[in-house]
Every structure is written in C-alpha cells, then in structure tokens.
C-alpha cells in the first residue's frame, strides 16, 4: 500500500522521538531505500527545519545532531540490526546530509538575517502573509464570511448542518437523508490572501488555494453522481464511493474519480490547467478526449492539447497546502503566486528576464519583504521595489 505524505511525516516524528530503533525506524529505513519516498522524506525534514525557532537558518551542527540521533538507533544494541543494514543506512544518511548541505544555496536554508540586509526598495514591504478565511454563499444567496464567525454552527440547509471547527474548517454534516436536496448549491470562495478547507457532505476533503472557488450541492444524498465545479486551485481527498463517482469540472475539462487524492491548478492566468495525481486513479475528459492518470503523473491541458507528464514531484505541487512556496518555475509564474497570496499587484519595468528559473522552498508565513529579499538574492540581477501594495519588478 502506497504511503501518503501525512503518513511519512508522522513516521518521521515517531522515529525521532523514540528511544529505540523500533518499528518506525525499521519502516523509515525501508522507505529511504525506495526512490519513490526518498525525496518526500527529505522535503519533510526541510519543512521541520524551517519551522524551528531559528527561523530556518542553516546550522550544520544541528543537522549533524539530527543525523547522529537517527544513526544512534542503528547502533543501539537493542536494535539488533545486521551490519550490512547499518552500513546501507549510513550511506543513505550521508546522501541526505550531502543534499542538505547543497541546499544551503537554495531558498529554504538561506537565513535572511537582520532588516539591514534588505535593500532600501523592499525594507518597507512589511505586508503580512495570507490567512485562513473564505466566503460561503448559501443557496439562498446569503453570504457568510468565515473569518468573522467563531466555532460552531453557521447554518442549516435541507437535511444538512454546516459548522466551523476550531481549525477553521468548514464541515457539512448530513442529519436527515430524506430531507436532503441535491439541487441546493453552495459556493466557497477565497479572495487573494485567503485559503480554506471544507469537508463536503460525502466526507470529501477540499483545500482551496487563494483566489479560488468551489461550487457543490449542499448534500449528495439524493444524487447519483457527486459533481462539483472549481475555479482556481484546490487539493482534493475524495471519499471512496464506487456507486457514486466524484467529478470536478474546471476550465475546459472534467476529472472523474472514485476515491483518490489529486490537485487541480486551473487559474485563468496560467497557460494550462494542471491536474496532478497523488493516489488512486483519475479519468480526464476534454472535448471527447479521454486520458487516465496514475500516481505521480500530471495532465497538462491547454487550448491546443491534453498531454501527460510522468514522474512529477507531487510534494512540490501540493506544497501550498502545507504552507510553502516552492520556487521551481519561471519568475513570471512565481510572481503570480506571490501576488495572489499577499494580495498585491505586480508590474514589470525595463523588460526583466522572465525566463529566470529558481529552485527552493520557503514558508508562506513570512512577510513579503523576506520573500522578495530571497528572490533578489537568487534571481540573477532581478530587483524589486514596493510602493503601497504594488511590486515593481526590474532588471
């Protein structure tokens, strides 16, 4: 059974906190030998490091302690592991340590430092990051801004109770299937600088990125199919129900699943709608053309074609959901993501080189000036100036 990113994260936490090698260490060792999981595990380690009190500054001694801590499990006499396994695990750790050292030059491990390290043009860009908030529009037309409402019940519709929990998640609970009405549609929408999570009436979980919206029936109880519509970007963990397929309409395509996890990026300012599969299997239909995705594949849908890309780094695709920017794209696309999250306008001056590509990862919880400082550092001469809520990009 394939392990998802949440399982890997819990496994690492359990292993690092344990006093012996244990079952978690044994499984982690096994997964580290598998190319399918190696990069995911390294990404999780980077994320945990970035959450540390030092703000993600690179500290070789600290990482050495982490690796020694893991390695000590191997040396523990109670672990009773063959020498060959201990040797192979040391090699894996050495590779991981080397990758961590190399990534000092990437964004994730660069410590911005003191305010005076910033250029004058971006020092004043103390714009805060986005937040967990959204607007729920009921079938009646009533609008509820979730950031203003506390925990508890928000509304009721035929056969359904709508509540908000302490994590800010919107939850639909079916209380009477006989009274449910699948003709009543709700829309959850986020503005720039907002993200939200909703648990649909069938138990499907949806994470909604900034400047996006999802429209869905307030209940699926009386519907033969579970159909929703998406504008923008969302990550789905669809509840399995073989008798009632789950489908997502976005842009000029329809994605159908039975029970699976996938991400759809269909922003209007992007050249293609990207559908990335993490687990399960999906069918994509576009103007009569059918394509099937397996885990790790991505469908790139443009006005001209629908093609499949293999071996996509799914952790990069879904990093936004876990609170990270992943810079592995052209500058123009990176700035589009920043504009949505910080609710700013981006204009270009003196025709900067938009083909510049960056590699790295940084928390979406940092202020705008910190993010721009990192981009200036690694973008090969691109400079930023911030006036009010406008970023001027110049070369």
137-152 pLDDT, tens digit each: 999 999 999 987 778 9
Residue 321 lies inside a defined structural domain of this protein: no
103-125 pLDDT, tens digit each: 332 333 333 334 445 666 676 66
**Judgement on whether residues 299 and 340 belong to the same structural domain of the protein:** no
Report how far Cα 166 is from the mean position of its chain's Cα atoms: 21
Confidence bin at 249 (pLDDT 50/70/90): very high
- Position 295 pLDDT exceeds 90: yes
What the block records as the tokens of 129 is 């990051």
Other residues' Cβ atoms within 10 Å of the Cβ of residue 307: 12
CATH no. for residue 361? 3.55.50.30
**Judgement on whether residues 363 and 277 belong to the same structural domain of the protein:** no
Contact 282, 290 (CB under 8 A): no
Q: Which of 229, 316, 302 is nearest to 270 (CA)?
A: 302
Distances (CA, A) of 369 to 120, 196, 296, 374: 11, 24, 34, 9
**Judgement on whether residues 156 and 293 belong to the same structural domain of the protein:** yes
Contact 235, 321 (CB under 8 A): yes
Split into its structural domains, the chain has a count of: 3
**Judgement on whether residues 12 and 80 belong to the same structural domain of the protein:** yes
DSSP string, 372-385: HHHHHHHTTS-EEE
**Judgement on whether residues 197 and 159 belong to the same structural domain of the protein:** yes
Confidence bin at 322 (pLDDT 50/70/90): confident
**Judgement on whether residues 160 and 305 belong to the same structural domain of the protein:** yes
pTM value surpassing 0.95: no
Question: Which is higher by pLDDT, 309 or 150?
Answer: 309
Sign of the Cα torsion 285, 291, 294, 295 reads negative
In the prediction, which pLDDT does 374 show?
A: 81
Residues linked to residue 192 through DSSP beta bridges, in sequence order: none
Q: Domain ends where: 316, 344, 370?
A: 316
Helix (H) or strand (E) holding 67: helix 60-75
Residue 110 lies inside a defined structural domain of this protein: no
Q: Which domain covers residue 95, as residue numbers?
A: 5-105
Contact 38, 72 (CB under 8 A): no
**Judgement on whether residues 73 and 171 belong to the same structural domain of the protein:** no
Rounded CA gap, 136 and 114, in Å? 40
Rounded CA gap, 203 and 200, in Å? 5
Angle, helices 35-50 vs 60-75, to 10°: value is: 130
158-210 pLDDT, tens digit each: 888 999 998 889 999 988 877 667 788 999 999 999 999 999 999 999 999 99
């Amino acid at each position: 059974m394939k392990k998802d990113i949440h399982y890997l994260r819990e496994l690492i936490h359990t292993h690092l906190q344990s006093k012996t090698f244990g079952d978690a260490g044994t499984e982690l060792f096994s997964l580290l030998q598998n190319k399918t999981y190696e990069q995911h595990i390294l990404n999780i380690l980077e994320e945990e490091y970035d959450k540390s009190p030092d703000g993600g500054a690179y500290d070789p001694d600290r990482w050495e302690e982490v690796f020694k801590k893991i390695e000590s499990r191997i040396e523990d006499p109670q672990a009773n592991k063959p020498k060959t396994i201990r040797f192979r695990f040391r090699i894996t750790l050495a590779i991981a340590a080397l990758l961590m050292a190399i990534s000092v030059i990437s964004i994730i491990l660069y410590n911005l430092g003191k305010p005076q390290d910033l250029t004058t043009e971006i020092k004043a860009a103390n714009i805060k990051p986005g937040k967990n908030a959204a607007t729920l529009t009921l079938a009646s037309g009533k609008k509820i801004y979730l950031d203003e409402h506390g925990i508890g019940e928000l509304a009721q519709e035929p056969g359904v109770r709508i509540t908000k929990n302490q994590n800010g998640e919107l939850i639909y609970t079916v209380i009477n299937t006989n009274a449910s009405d699948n003709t009543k549609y709700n829309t959850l929408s986020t503005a720039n600088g907002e993200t939200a999570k909703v648990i649909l009436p069938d138990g499907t979980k949806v994470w909604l990125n900034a400047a996006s919206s999802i429209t869905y029936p307030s209940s699926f109880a009386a519907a033969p199919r579970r159909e929703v519509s998406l504008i923008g970007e969302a990550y789905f963990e669809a509840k399995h129900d073989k008798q009632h397929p789950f489908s997502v309409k976005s842009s000029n395509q329809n994605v159908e699943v039975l029970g699976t996890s996938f991400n759809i990026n269909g922003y209007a300012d992007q050249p293609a709608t990207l559908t990335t599969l993490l687990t399960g299997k999906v069918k994509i239909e576009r103007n009569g053309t059918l394509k099937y995705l397996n885990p790790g594949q991505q469908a790139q849908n443009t006005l001209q074609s629908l093609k499949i890309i293999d071996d996509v780094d799914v952790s990069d695709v879904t990093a936004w959901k876990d609170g990270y920017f992943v810079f592995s794209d052209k500058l123009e696309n990176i700035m589009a993501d920043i504009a949505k999250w910080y609710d700013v306008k981006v204009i270009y001056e003196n025709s900067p080189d938009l083909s510049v590509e960056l590699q790295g990862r940084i928390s979406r919880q940092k202020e705008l000036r910190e993010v721009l400082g990192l981009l200036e550092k690694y973008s090969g001469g691109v400079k930023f100036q911030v006036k009010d809520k406008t970023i001027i990009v110049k070369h």
